[in-house]
Amino acid sequence: MSRPRRPGFETIVGSADADLSGKRRCIAAHFEPPPAPPRPHDVPVEKSIHLSPSTLAPALASLALCASLGAAAQTAEPWTLEVQQLAAAAAAPAGTRVEVEVGALDPRLKLAPCARITPYLPAGARLWGRSRVGLRCDEGARWNVFVPVTVKVFGPGWTATQPLPVGTVLQSEHLQSSEVDLAAEPSPALREAQPALGRALVRALRPGQAVREADLKARQWFAAGDTVRVVGVGAGFAISADGQALGAGIDGQFVKVRIDGGRVVSGRAIAERRIEVTL
């Protein structure tokens, strides 16, 4: 039974009490009061892990190592390890430690697929410092390329203990024994201190830098006019005579000497007042 109409109001078709109650239930959110805000103890809190410094350092190191190994595994070519082993075996003198860094092939190369790649040493190649190793395809295609390598050879040597300017005459307090990269430069690093003592530097050295033969001013063994001993060396024999130097005797360099009878010979200055002539 419908309710009587109130004055000033019209009846809406389909707006019986039962129908209105049904719509109210369907859209109850528009009729119910808003829910109460969550209490502080109901708010979810993210859990966190707290690591002590002693635990955190190894954890970070492990993550860094995993990332490094993962990157290396993704970027290294299948032949990289073979190249490193080949170069290390060829370059390692006794009592040294060798590290080999393998470079990348020229990106402009377009190589056909190869089932078996063989690394090899080029003829005359010296695996010391910056060098190269050959790569040859032996199955699936026919090509031959070279990959750059950097060979580091660590061994005992002598380094500067302090900043040493040009012209410093080396004394024992200027030098200390250290592990150095013998292959870092073409000039050999000094393996013994004695040859450097009393010699002047021709370039400045920083602390910890290896002292190399090229860093030292050549030793002068005698001056022009000095009497020197001339040693002639041949196949299975040696002779000697005295003479007068016609020039300064710089270590390792040739100098002329006038011997008895006025004959002039040329030999290499090798020691104090001494030259060697090859017969």
Q: What is the pLDDT of residues 188-214, one digit of tens each?
A: 999 999 989 999 999 999 999 999 999
> Could you read off the pLDDT of 96-125 as tens digits, one per residue?
899 999 999 988 989 999 999 999 999 888
Residue 134 predicted with pLDDT over 70: yes
Structure tokens, 123: 């003829």
Tokens standing for residue 33: 């009061």
95: DSSP letter: T
Q: Is the pTM of this model over 0.85?
A: no
**For position 74, what pLDDT does the model report?**
40
Range 154-215 classified under CATH 3.90.1210.10: yes
Give the C-alpha distances (Å, rounded to integers) separating 251 from 183, 188, 223, 270: 24, 16, 12, 6
Q: What's the rounded Cα separation, in Å, for the pair 267 and 122? A: 36
Question: Does residue 276 surpass a pLDDT of 60?
Answer: yes
Q: How distant, in Å, are the alpha carbons of 28, 32, 86, 102, 274 from that of 73? A: 61, 62, 20, 14, 59
Of 5-9, 129-133, 170-174, 271-275, least confident by mean pLDDT is 5-9
Q: How far is CA 241 from CA 195, 236, 255, 257, 265, in A?
A: 27, 18, 15, 11, 11
Given this model, what pLDDT does residue 3 score?
52
Q: For residues 253 and 60, what is the distance between their CA atoms, to the nearest angstrom?
A: 57
CATH code 2.30.30.760 region(s) in the chain: 220-278
Task: Give the mean pLDDT of 37-50.
Answer: 45
Average confidence score pLDDT of the chain = 79
Taking residues 65-69, report their average pLDDT.
37
Q: Count CB atoms within 10 A of the CB of residue 78.
A: 7
Beta strands in 78-174 (DSSP E): 97-102, 116-120, 129-139, 144-160
Q: Which residues pair with 131 in a beta bridge?
A: 149
- Mention every residue, 6+ apart, whose C-beta is less than 8 A from residue 175: 158, 159, 160, 161, 193, 196, 211
pLDDT band at 37 (very low <50, low <70, confident <90, very high): low
For residues 98 and 155, what is the distance between their CA atoms, to the nearest angstrom? 9
| Among 106, 122, 116, residue whose Cα is nearest residue 78 | 116
Domain with CATH 3.90.1210.10 in the chain: 154-215
pLDDT at 91: 80
The owner of tokens 């389909």 is: 14
What are the tokens at 59? Answer: 């954890």
Choose the CATH number for 220-278 among 2.30.30.760, 3.40.50.1000, 3.40.50.300, 3.60.15.10.
2.30.30.760
Q: Tokens at residue 96, please?
A: 């040294």
Q: Is the pLDDT reported for residue 25 higher than 90?
A: no
66-92 mean pLDDT:
69
How far is it, in rounded angstroms, from Cα 118 to Cα 91?
Answer: 19
